[in-house]
Structure 1
Amino acid sequence: MLGVLLALPIALVAAAWTGALQPAALLDAGPITRFGLPIVDVLDDIAAAAAVGGLLLAAGLVPTRSTQRMALVVASCAGVAWTIAATAKLILTASNTMGLPLSDPGFAAGIEKFVTQLEGGVALSVVPIAAAIVVLVALASSTPTGAGWGLALSSVALAAAATLGHSASATGHHTAVVAMFVHLVGACAWIGPLIGMVALWALRAIDGRQLAVTLRRYSTVALWACVAVAISGVANGILRLNSVSDLGTKYGLLLLAKTIGFAVLIGCGAAHRRWVLRGPIRSVGAVFWRLAAVEIAMMGAVSGLAVALASSAPPNQGLPPANITAAWLITGYELPPAPNLANYFTQWWPDVLFGTLALAGLVVYWAWYLRLRRRGDHWPALRLASWTTAMVVFAWVTSGGPAVYGHILFSGHMLQHMLLAMVIPLFLVASAPITLALRALPTRHDQSRGPREWILTLVHSRWAQFFANPIVAACNFAGSMIVFYYTPAFEYSLRTSVGHAAMVIHFTLAGYLFANALVGIDPGVKRPTYPLRLVLLLATMAFHAFFGVTIMSSDNLFVADWFGWMGRPWGASALDDQIQGGEIAWGIGEIPTFLLAVFVAYGWAKSDERSARRRDRQADRAGDRELQDYNAMLAKLADTDEGKPASR
Structure 2
Amino acid sequence: MSVLTDVRRPGPWRVVTLVVVAVIAVVVGVWFSGAALPALVLDPGPLVRWGLPVTETLGEVAAATTIGALVLAVCVLPRREERAPGARRPLRGGPAAEGTAYPRTLLVAAWAAGVWTVAAVAQLVLSYANVAGTSVTAPSFGDELWLYVTQIPLGRTLGSVVVVAAVVTALSMVVRTPTGAAWTLVLGIVALWQLAQLGHAAGAAGHDLATSALFVHLVGAAVWIGALAALAALVRVVGTDLAPAVARYSVIAGWCVAAVAVSGLVSGWLRLGSFAGLDTRYGALLVAKVVLLVTLAGLGLWHRRRTVAALAGRTSESVATATAGTGASSVGATGTAAVGTGSDPRANGTRGTLVAGATRLFWRLVLVELAVMGAVSGVAVALASSAPPVPETPPADPTPAYRITGHPLPPELTASRWLTEWRWDLLLAFATVAGLVVYWRWVLRLRRRGDAWPWARTASWTVGLLIFGWTTNSGPATYGHILFSAHMIQHMVLAMVVPVFVALSAPVTLALRALPVRGAHLSGDVSRGPREWLLVLVHSRVGQFFANPIVAAVNFVVSMLLFYYTGLFEWSLRNSVGHLFMVVHFSLAGYLFVNSMVGVDPGPKRLGYPQRLLALFATMAFHAFFGVSLVSGESLLVADWFGLMGRPWGPSAIADQQTGGAITWGIGELPTLALAIGVALAWSRDDDRTARQRDRRTRDEDPELDAYNAMLKSLND
Tell me whether 1:521 sits opposite 2:600 in the alignment. Answer: yes
Determine the C-alpha separation between the residues in 1 that align with 2:416 and 2:384.
38
TM-score, scaled relative to structure 1: 0.94
1:587-626 aligned at under 5 Å gives the runs 587-621=666-700
Q: How far does the alpha carbon of each residue in 1:135-181 deviate from its partner, in whole angstroms, 9 at most, with x for none?
A: 23222222211121112111111111111131522321111111111
Provide, for residues 180-223 of structure 1, a one-character-per-residue CA deviation record: whole Å limited to 9, x for no partner. Answer: 1101110011111111111111xx2211x311111111111000
- After superposing the two structures, state which structure 1 stretch, 409-418 or 325-334, moved more: 325-334
Q: 1:619 to 1:148 in 2, by over 3 A?
A: farther
Q: Is the 8 A contact 1:69 1:143 kept in 2?
A: no
Residue identity opposite 2:17 in structure 1: L
Measured in 1, the distance between the counterparts of 2:373 and 2:531 equals: 31
Structure 1 CA distance, aligned partners of 2:472 and 2:140? Answer: 45
Deviation at 1:621, TM superposition (A): 4.6
Q: Does 1:374 align with 2:448?
A: yes
Structure 2 CA distance for partners of 1:557 and 1:612, relative to 1, 3 Å: same
Question: Aligned letter for 1:143?
Answer: T
Contact 2:419 2:475 in 1 (8 A): yes
> In 2 relative to 1, CA 600–624 (structure 1 residues): closer, same or farther, beyond 3 Å?
farther
- Could you report, residue by residue, the CA deviation over 1:473-526 in whole angstroms, capped at 9, with x for unpaired residues? 111111111111111111111111111111111111011011111111101111
> Is 1:45 aligned to residue 77 of structure 2?
no
Distance 1:121 1:620, change over 3 A: farther
- Do the aligned partners of 1:171 and 1:319 also contact (CA within 8 Å) in 2? no
Question: Following superposition of structure 1 onto structure 2, how do residues 234-313 of structure 1 map, counting pairs within 5 Å?
Answer: 234-279=265-310, 280-281=314-315, 282=354, 283-313=357-387
Q: Which residue of 2 aligns with 1:175?
A: 209
Are residues 1:385 and 2:416 paired?
no
Q: Taking structure 1 as reference, are residues 170 and 556 closer, same or farther at Cα in structure 2, changes over 3 Å only?
A: farther
SS at match of 2:238: coil
Instruction: Please tell me whether the aligned partners of residues 205 and 408 of structure 2 are also in contact (alpha carbons under 8 angstroms).
Output: no
Distance 1:300 1:419 in 2: 44
Distance 1:94 1:604, change over 3 A: farther
Give the distance between the partners of 1:453 and 1:152, measured in 2 at CA: 18
Cα–Cα, structure 1 residues 98 and 549, in superposed 2: closer, same or farther, change >3 Å?
farther
| Cα offset, 1:561, TM superposition | 1.7
Which of these residues, 348, 355, 372, is aligned with residue 422 of structure 2? 348
Residues 564-598 of structure 1 deviation map (CA, whole Å, 9 limit, x = unaligned): 11111100111111111111111111111111111
Equivalent position to 1:430, from 500, 504, 517: 504
The Cα of 1:624 is off from its aligned counterpart by 8.9
Q: Does 1:557 align with 2:622?
A: no
Partner amino acid for 2:428?
Answer: F
Deviates more, 1:345-354 or 1:523-532: 523-532
Alpha-carbon distance in 2 for matches of 1:468, 1:296: 44
2 CA distance for matches of 1:358 and 1:598?
29
Could you say what secondary structure the match of 2:485 adopts? helix
> Would the aligned equivalents of 2:201 and 2:392 in 1 still touch at CA under 8 Å?
no
1:320 paired residue among 385, 390, 394: 394
**Closer, same or farther: CA 373–32 of 1 in aligned 2, 3 Å:** same
List gaps (5 residues or longer) in structure 2: 1-15, 81-99, 316-353, 520-524, 708-717
Alignment equivalent of 2:245, drawn from 214, 217, 237: 214
1:68/1:144 contact within 8 Å kept: no
Counterpart for residue 641 of structure 1: none
Question: Aligned-pair distance for 1:354?
Answer: 0.5
Paired amino acid for 2:377? S
Separation (CA, whole Å) in 2 of partners of 1:230 and 1:623: 73
Q: Are positions 1:454 and 2:533 aligned together?
A: yes
2:259 paired with 1:225: no
SS of 1:165's equivalent in the other structure is: coil
Q: TM-score, normalised by structure 2?
A: 0.85
Listed one character per residue, the Cα deviations across residues 445-468 of structure 1 (whole Å, up to 9, x for unaligned) are 222211111110111111111111
- Deviation per residue, 1:110-134 (Å, 9 max, x gap): 2222222222222222212222222
Does structure 1 retain, via aligned residues, the 8 Å contact 2:412–2:650? yes
Alpha-carbon spacing, 1:25–1:600, altered in 2? closer, same or farther (3 Å): farther
Work out whether residues 55 and 123 of structure 2, in 8 Å CA contact, stay in contact via their aligned partners in 1: yes
**Change in 2 beyond 3 A, CA 1:621/1:105:** farther
* Separation of aligned partners in 2, 1:529 and 1:449: 35
- Distance (Å, rounded) in 2 between the aligned partners of 1:62 and 1:620: 59
Q: Percent identity between the aligned chains?
A: 52
Write the distance in 2 (CA, Å) between the matches of 1:472 and 1:259.
49
Q: Report if aligned partners of 2:484, 2:660 keep a CA contact under 8 Å in 1.
A: yes
Q: Alpha-carbon deviation of 1:622? A: 5.3
Q: 1:612 to 1:328 in 2, by over 3 A?
A: same
User: Which residue of structure 2 lines up, in the alignment, with residue 195 of structure 1?
Assistant: 229
Please give the secondary structure, in 1, of the residue aligned with 2:237: coil
Give the Å deviation of 1:623.
Answer: 6.2
Counterpart amino acid of residue 205 in structure 1: V
Letter in 2 for 1:368: W
> What amino acid sits opposite 2:580 in the alignment?
A
Which structure's relative contact order is higher, taking Cα pairs within 8 Å and 6+ residues apart? 2
Return closer, same or farther for 1:390/1:368 CA change in 2, 3 Å cut-off.
Answer: same
Shift of the 610–73 alpha-carbon distance from structure 1 to 2, 3 Å rule, reads: farther
Structure 1 stretch 364-373 or stretch 130-139: which is displaced more?
130-139
Residues of 2 paired with 1:450 and 1:619: CA distance? 50
Shift, 1:381, TM fit: 0.5
SS of 1:37's partner is helix
Deviation at 1:24, TM superposition (A): 2.7
1:539 Cα deviation from its structure 2 partner: 1.2
* Cα distance in structure 2, aligned partners of 1:540 and 1:359: 32
Q: What is the one-letter code of the residue matched to 1:151?
A: L
1:71 maps onto 2:145 in alignment: no
Kept in 2: contact 1:68–1:142 (CA 8 A): no
Match of 1:542 in 2: 621
Conserved? CA contact 2:113–2:169, under 8 Å: yes
SS of corresponding position for 1:120:
helix
Greater alpha carbon shift after TM alignment, 58-67 vs 466-475:
58-67
**Residue 7 of structure 1 pairs with residue 22 of structure 2:** yes
Q: Residue 167 of structure 1 contacts residue 180 of structure 1 at CA under 8 Å; is this kept in 2?
A: no
Q: 1:34 to 1:602 in 2, by over 3 A?
A: same
Contact 1:383–1:432 (Cα < 8 Å) also in 2: yes
Q: 1:491 & 1:170 partners in 2: Cα distance?
A: 22
After TM superposition, the structure 1 stretch with the greater mean CA deviation from structure 2, 495-504 or 163-172, is 163-172
1:164 and 1:338 map into 2 onto residues whose CA distance is: 33
- Matches of 2:547 and 2:624 in 1, distance apart? 24
Deviation at 1:272, TM superposition (A): 1.9
Give the alignment partner of residue 440 of structure 1, picking from 483, 492, 514. 514
Aligned length, in residue pairs: 625
Shift of 1:529: 1.2
* 2:160 equivalent to 1:86: no
Cα gap change, 1:90 to 1:606, in 2 (>3 Å): farther
Q: Does 2:229 correspond to 1:155? A: no
**Deviation (angstroms), 1:323:** 4.6
Equivalences for residues 619-638 of structure 1 within 5 A: 619-621=698-700
Paired with 1:214 and 1:363, the residues of 2 have a C-alpha distance of 24
Distance 1:41 1:536, change over 3 A: same
Partner deviation per Cα, 1:206-244 (whole Å, 9 max, x = no partner): 11x311111111111000001001111111011101211
**C-alpha RMSD of matched pairs (Å):** 1.8
In the TM superposition, residue 608 of structure 1 has moved relative to its aligned partner by: 1.8
Distance 2:659 2:542 in 1: 37
Describe the shift of the 1:607–1:135 C-alpha distance in structure 2 as closer, same or farther (beyond 3 A). farther
Distance in 2 separating the partners of 1:167 and 1:610: 62
- The equivalent of 1:109 in structure 2 is 143
SS of 1:166's partner is: coil
2:650 is the alignment partner of 1:571: yes
Match in the other structure for 1:26? 41
